[in-house]
Amino acid sequence: MRALKLDPRETHEDVLEMTWNQLVQRHLLPIPWACQCSEGSPPGIKPAHDYRWIEFPEDVEVPSNLTQPRSETMWGLTKLALKKTRDHSRRYESRCRQRQNEIRRDRKLASKGNAGKSGRINLKTSERVEFFKDVPPTTLFDFLYWMRRRLNYIDDDSFLAEGISPFSAASFNRDLVLIARATLHSLECIVDAAVGEDHLKGLRDKFSAQVPESLQGDSVGSRYA
């Protein structure tokens, strides 16, 4: 961001979006990281608008949620992941909540301080469609970020409610760590090829020198060792 003279972003999500945009503009991302899902319409809106798929092979359909993960279903499951992520876009849902709060406030003012009508507020279809148009193209980065948010803030009781064993929970955590490390490794290889090995090695050495001795044997300390 400093090298490109870009203004700092306020949230983690904004930083990820800006980083992805810069990588895409420079054509540095390989497939499937370059794949995108755009357009479409909010869940429950009819008639539904078609999604626009970018960097996907032709004739790939969005499969059922029950589709088994296999090599031959990889592209379909990738579409499914992007579609689900886009349907539950944090930006879209946040904008809807903001509009609902505005309506509640207006109702309260109109009733001269009384609570006014309470309960669920249904937004107009035109408003929901307009909010959904503001959602940027969805990528695998959005999917991983959405999954991380669900694990941290939404589905923390899933393992307890479903009676999943500690072994299964630990295995699931290791799988997520593997996905994250593989993703970072792929991006680091791209950065390495773009900026040169000497520059990246200097960054690794500088990072390693700042890691406390107590973490040297941990993944935090060994990552750039």
The answer to whether 40 touches 49, Cβ cutoff 8 Å, is: yes
Identify which of 146, 138, 125 has the alpha carbon closest to the alpha carbon of residue 44: 125
Identify which of 156, 182, 181 has the alpha carbon closest to the alpha carbon of residue 169: 156
Per-residue pLDDT tens for 171-188? 777 777 777 777 777 777
The answer to whether 36 touches 51, Cβ cutoff 8 Å, is: no
What residue spans define the domains of the chain? 1-88+135-139, 90-133, 157-213+217-221
**Torsion angles phi and psi, residue 145, rounded to 5:** -70, -40
pLDDT in tens, the chain (225 residues): 555 566 666 666 677 677 777 777 677 777 788 899 999 999 888 877 899 999 999 889 999 988 887 888 889 999 999 999 999 898 899 999 999 999 988 888 777 655 545 567 889 999 999 999 999 899 888 888 887 776 665 555 555 555 667 777 677 777 777 777 777 777 777 767 766 667 667 767 776 777 666 655 544 445 544
**Torsion angles phi and psi, residue 214, rounded to 5:** -65, -20
Per-residue pLDDT tens for 151-168? 665 555 555 555 667 777
